[in-house]
């Protein structure tokens, strides 16, 4: 699917970007060009040590910011596929610096869309988050706006062979800023801070996230928000898996946090279909479109009022499963917080 194509990844030096690059280089040796677009020269240098251009001649490292529309257009010249992974995603930092988050996550998203429209890009997949469903913090609100921008972009693509879609998933196990590397760091203190003992989160591995994006590139018709069927975990079980002898000290939830995360709300259910391994939230264009999509993709509508949240999920990881995932990872890129 990706052989002989040129691909650009915004935020390409992050956890997802490195895992995506690794998978593409392994699976598609004839990829024409793989552009890493990010604003951090040090991370690009470090990534180039792991993926040297001398060994992987398709790689290009572009310094740039999604806030810079001109730089995006220049980077996308000759590009066929764009993966938009750049974002400001730390909830407390977004609450304290709201407009900086808006400039990157919303205005940056629109810059990506405009550049794609201007340069002949054919497929776009934007990464979202469970925090974009019924958001209560600024980060989630900006990602919801970003999702709406990408899905609506299909309305004004004109005659271009161009499809915009979104993938929305939960916490990536071991990624930077997530609870697992934080708990591993605090393990030596003997105390693991628990925000709320009832708290749950969705869990996905980096590799599953990459596979989902590749699947969306192949299957999306444009306008969908794809949601994976993934397990949940209890925050207390993560603490037990990492430090069974540690004290679990309740510290209270931070501003902007939920007890349970959502990926599909009851209001979304009327436009949501079940594709088997994934759900798809479709643009609200009427029942006939829903029926046509189901017929074309072998899908079925979810029940009216259906909601998908981490607390009521039917699939939970056990302490033993969590311990195995955390301490017996076969791919270091999944769990080193890279």
Asked if 218 contacts 240 with a C-beta cutoff of 8 angstroms, the reply is: no
Asked if 274 contacts 299 with a C-beta cutoff of 8 angstroms, the reply is: yes
Beta-strand (E) ranges in the chain? 6-10, 33-38, 59-63, 81-84, 123-127, 163-167, 171-172, 191-194, 200-204, 225-228, 232-234, 247-250, 262-264, 272-274, 278-281, 300-301, 308-309
d(CA 272, CA 290): 8
d(CA 327, CA 322): 9
User: Tokens representing 58?
Assistant: 């398709």
Asked if 280 contacts 227 with a C-beta cutoff of 8 angstroms, the reply is: yes
Q: Is 89 a catalytic residue?
A: no
Phi, psi dihedral angles at 165 (to 5 degrees) = -145, 170
Task: Please name which of 252, 232, 228, 220 lies closest in space to residue 321, comparing C-alpha atoms.
Answer: 232
Asked if 17 contacts 38 with a C-beta cutoff of 8 angstroms, the reply is: yes
3-class DSSP assignment, residue 329: coil
Which 8-state DSSP code applies to residue 242? H
Asked if 172 contacts 16 with a C-beta cutoff of 8 angstroms, the reply is: yes
- Per residue in 224-242, is it b (16+ CB within 10 Å) or e — as a string? bbbbbbbbbbbbbbbbbbb
Q: How far apart are the first and last CA of the chain?
A: 27
Catalytic residue among 131, 188, 258, 277: 131
What is the Cα gyration radius of the chain? 20
Residues with catalytic function? 131
């Amino acid at each position: 699917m990706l052989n002989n194509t040129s691909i650009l990844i915004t935020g390409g030096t992050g956890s997802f970007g490195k895992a995506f690059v690794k998978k593409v280089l392994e699976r598609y040796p004839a990829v024409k060009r793989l552009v890493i677009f990010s604003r951090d020269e040090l991370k690009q240098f470090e990534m180039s040590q792991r993926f040297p251009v001398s060994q992987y001649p398709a790689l290009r490292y572009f310094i740039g910011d999604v806030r810079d529309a001109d730089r995006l257009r220049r980077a996308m010249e000759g590009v066929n596929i764009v993966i938009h992974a750049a974002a400001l995603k730390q909830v407390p930092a977004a609450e304290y610096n709201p407009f900086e988050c808006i400039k990157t996550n919303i205005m940056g998203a629109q810059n990506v869309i405009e550049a794609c429209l201007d340069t002949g890009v054919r497929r776009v997949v934007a990464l979202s988050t469970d925090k974009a469903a019924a958001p209560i913090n600024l980060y989630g609100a900006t990602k919801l706006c970003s999702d709406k921008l990408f899905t609506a972009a299909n309305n004004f693509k004109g005659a271009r062979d161009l499809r915009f879609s979104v993938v929305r998933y939960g916490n990536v196990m071991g990624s930077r800023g997530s609870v697992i590397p934080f708990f591993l760091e605090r393990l030596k203190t003997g105390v693991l801070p628990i925000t709320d003992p009832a708290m749950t989160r969705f869990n996905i591995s980096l590799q599953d996230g990459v596979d989902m994006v590749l699947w969306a590139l192949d299957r999306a018709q444009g306008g969908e928000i794809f949601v994976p069927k993934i397990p949940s975990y209890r925050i207390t079980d993560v603490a037990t898996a990492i430090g069974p002898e540690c004290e679990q000290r309740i510290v209270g939830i931070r501003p902007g946090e939920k007890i349970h995360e959502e990926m599909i709300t009851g209001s979304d259910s009327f436009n949501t279909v079940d594709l088997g391994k994934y759900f798809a939230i479709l643009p609200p264009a009427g029942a006939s479109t829903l029926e046509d999509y189901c017929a074309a993709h072998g899908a079925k509508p979810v029940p009216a009022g259906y909601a998908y949240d981490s607390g009521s999920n039917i699939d939970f990881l056990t302490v033993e499963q969590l311990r195995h995932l955390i301490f017996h990872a076969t791919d270091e890129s999944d769990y080193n917080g890279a």
